[in-house]
Amino acid sequence: MPKITKLIVGRGRTSRPSEQEEWLKEYYELEADVTDIPTEDGLEKARVDLEQKLISWLFEPTAPQLPKLDMAEMEKLPWKNYQTKQPCRPGESGWIFANTAGAEELVKLIKASPKEKLDLTVYQFTFSGKEKQFISRKKLKES
């Protein structure tokens, strides 16, 4: 039998998150140098180890990639005071429309947060309104 010097294992999957979305194809290959593995059992163990790694990449859930927020940019959004409806001062509680240009990443983060409540720097951000058409920011209590 010829000497085996490398082992390449590949694995893929095709999925469709929903009927409205396109099919997704993922495929990974791992290559291992097996020149120092003297036995068939050792080679089989190396193959199984590589395959297990590929399966974990393909099928184990991973944390979603959440957007990063620039809080200075969030402060520049047209926040309105609850009582006066006038522009908020920095650090003041207020609200904006959820579809405000520049608030898209904030909306994603609130949606991804437990109970749609996001504590970030000095504020807690939540949705408000019957159709969650507003984003509210409330100043967090200092501890």
Q: Where are the domains of the chain?
A: 6-59, 71-139
Residues 6+ apart with CB under 8 A from 8: 29, 30, 31, 32
Which of 31, 26, 24, 29 has the alpha carbon at shortest distance from 12?
26
**Does the pLDDT value for residue 17 go beyond 80?**
no
- What's residue 1's pLDDT? 63
Report which of residues 72 and 136 the model is more confident about: 136
**Does the pLDDT value for residue 90 go beyond 90?**
no
Interval 132-141: pLDDT, tens: 999 999 998 8
Q: Name the residue with tokens 């522009």.
A: 87
> Which residues partner with 139 through β-bridges?
123
Mean pLDDT in residue range 31-53: 90
Taking the complete model, does pTM exceed 0.75, yes or no? no
Q: Are 139 and 126 in contact (CB under 8 A)?
A: no
| Cα–Cα distance measured from residue 102 to residue 96, given in angstroms and rounded to the nearest whole number | 11
